[in-house]
Amino acid sequence: MVIIRLARGGAKKTPFYNVVVADSRNRRDGRFIERVGFYNPSASANAEGLRIDLARVAHWQNNGAQLSDTVARLVKFHAKGPEAAIAAKAKDAAKAEAKKAAIAAEEAAKVKAAADAAKAEADAKAAAEAEAAKEAAAAAAEAPAETEAPAADA
């Protein structure tokens, strides 16, 4: 059976896919009949990330070729045109920025909570020291009166 699928290329952690027409019995990256396009998922915003020859895909489908699930999704996406691709990239970029902003806000909230806890701890410590100083002053005020009385008896 003939299938239109992706053949992986590119370096480690930098995938690049060729859209190929191949016999389903051949390996994923092995022998193929025809290359009908490419897909670069890591393409920058101004680089072309997807190109498919829809006429050749239609020709092979008419001759009985089946699309893999991923290639079917890519063909549908490519049929929408380059404006849709640009809009999708912009939407993905906005989503990433929103996620970064949410993480930054969460970090800021953690820092603020830690600062508030440190301030509360410092206030409590200052209040305890003030209370201890007050008690020490009260004890010092009572202590001289008691020490004078035994000195007078001696």
pLDDT in tens, the chain (154 residues): 999 999 999 899 999 999 999 988 888 888 899 999 999 988 877 788 889 999 999 999 999 999 999 999 999 988 887 777 778 778 888 899 999 999 999 999 999 999 999 999 988 888 888 888 888 888 877 765 555 555 555 5
pLDDT at 91: 85
CA distance 142 to 148: 11
Rounded to two decimals, the pTM is 0.57
pLDDT at 143: 66
pLDDT at 78: 86
**Residue 50 in contact with residue 67, Cβ under 8 Å?**
no
CA distance 57 to 63: 10
pLDDT at 35: 94
pLDDT at 144: 59
CA distance 118 to 111: 10
21 burial via Cβ count (<10 Å: 0-12, 13-18, 19+): buried
pLDDT at 46: 77
CA distance 102 to 107: 9
Q: Which residues contact 88 (CB under 8 A, 6 or more apart)?
A: 77
pLDDT at 5: 94
pLDDT at 44: 79
